[in-house]
């Protein structure tokens, strides 16, 4: 199905470029014609790329058997109707060091998109955002989406530090301080009024925020009670049919949130 779609797309590009070059620019010089041909080819390719009418990938995630840094990208791929493969790395294998030595920063996750390998979870989210038209409608929206993703990352880092380094001593203080971080996202969400952080459809920053909020609801089930826009956001994202199917799946439910069993 996907292959037929891509072949069809390639045929479409060929016919559009051939038609436009032979019918309208065959009276100019060969060098001008060459330039014009490529200008139009690039234009058509860009138009088709942004129209997102064929499947990307195939994608493969290599990561540990946890939600961790892959929670958001998995939810995003599920919501975009994109299938992916998982390579689950166990602790003993990782400790042998062979795989670590091949990773750009010595860490996972890794995303493979066909023959293209990418590390760093937020770079992966951005890549998926570009591939699946979830990176805003223009440069300004893209910049705001980047800003919100970085804001989510700041919260995620605080959460990870508490989970891995100070769960027993720092959990209560963390929960007490949480409203001082959530109120920033509440304000943006309330101001935009579309139910998403930026624009009128989900971007990769929304998937990242959604996933981090799900984790916080496990930590403290009442943490969104004073944040109506965030509460409604989580309810609506959870009810999107493809996200609901994914969150209800065994593949999702069987994975612990974090690698040390704390949540």
- Residue ranges binding ligand 6SG (CB under 6 A): 64, 66, 68-69, 91, 94, 100, 107-109, 120-122, 259
Closest alpha carbon to 125 in 188, 58, 206, 236: 206
* Nearest residue to ligand 6SG, scored by beta-carbon proximity: 259
Shortest spacing between CB 66 and ligand 6SG, in angstroms: 5
Pick 121 or 229: Cβ nearer ligand 6SG: 121
3-state class of 61 per DSSP?
Answer: strand
**What does the alpha-carbon distance between residue 196 and residue 191 come to, in Å, rounded to a whole number?**
10
Angle, nearest 10°, between helix axes 179-192 and 228-239?
70
CB crowding 219-238: b at 16 or more within 10 Å, else e: beeebbeebebbbebbeebe
User: Any bridge partners for residue 119, and if so which?
Assistant: 110
Shortest spacing between CB 122 and ligand 6SG, in angstroms: 6
Pick 121 or 203: Cβ nearer ligand 6SG: 121
Task: Name the token pair of 98.
Answer: 């062979």
Q: Which residues contact 189 (CB under 8 A, 6 or more apart)?
A: 195, 196, 197, 229, 230, 233
Pick 71 or 199: Cβ nearer ligand 6SG: 71
Shortest spacing between CB 73 and ligand 6SG, in angstroms: 10
Pick 132 or 156: Cβ nearer ligand 6SG: 156
Pick 29 or 105: Cβ nearer ligand 6SG: 105
Shortest spacing between CB 124 and ligand 6SG, in angstroms: 7
Q: State how beta strands 59-64 and 84-89 pair.
A: parallel
Pick 126 or 132: Cβ nearer ligand 6SG: 126
Shortest spacing between CB 210 and ligand 6SG, in angstroms: 17
Contact at 8 Å (CB) between 230 and 189?
yes
Shortest spacing between CB 86 and ligand 6SG, in angstroms: 14
Pick 90 or 138: Cβ nearer ligand 6SG: 90
Q: Which residues contact 143 (CB under 8 A, 6 or more apart)?
A: 136
Task: Name the token pair of 52.
Answer: 């997102």
Task: Name the token pair of 241.
Answer: 């049919």
Shortest spacing between CB 63 and ligand 6SG, in angstroms: 7
């Amino acid at each position: 199905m996907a292959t037929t779609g891509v072949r069809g797309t390639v045929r479409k590009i060929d016919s559009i470029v051939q038609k436009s070059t032979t019918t309208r620019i065959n009276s100019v010089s060969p060098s001008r014609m060459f330039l014009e041909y490529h200008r139009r080819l690039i234009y058509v390719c860009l138009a088709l790329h942004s129209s997102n009418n064929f499947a990307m990938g195939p994608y493969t995630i290599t990561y540990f058997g946890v939600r961790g840094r892959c929670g958001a990208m998995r939810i995003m791929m599920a919501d975009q109707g994109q299938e992916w493969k998982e390579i689950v790395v166990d602790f003993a294998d990782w400790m042998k060091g062979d795989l670590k030595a091949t990773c750009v920063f010595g860490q996972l996750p890794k995303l493979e998109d066909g023959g293209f390998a990418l590390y760093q979870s937020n770079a992966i989210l951005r890549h998926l955002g570009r591939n699946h038209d979830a990176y805003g409608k223009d440069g300004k929206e893209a910049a705001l989406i980047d800003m919100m993703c970085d804001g989510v990352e700041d919260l995620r880092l605080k959460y990870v530090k508490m989970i891995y380094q100070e769960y027993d001593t720092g959990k209560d203080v963390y929960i007490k301080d949480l409203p001082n971080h959530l109120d920033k996202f509440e304000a943006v969400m309330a101001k935009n009024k579309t139910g998403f952080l930026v624009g009128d459809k989900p971007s990769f920053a929304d998937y990242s925020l959604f996933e981090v909020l799900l984790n916080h609801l496990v930590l403290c089930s009442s943490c969104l009670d004073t944040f109506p826009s965030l509460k409604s956001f989580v309810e609506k994202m959870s009810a999107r049919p493809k996200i609901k199917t994914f969150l209800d799946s065994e593949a999702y439910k069987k994975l612990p949130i974090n690698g040390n069993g704390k949540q």
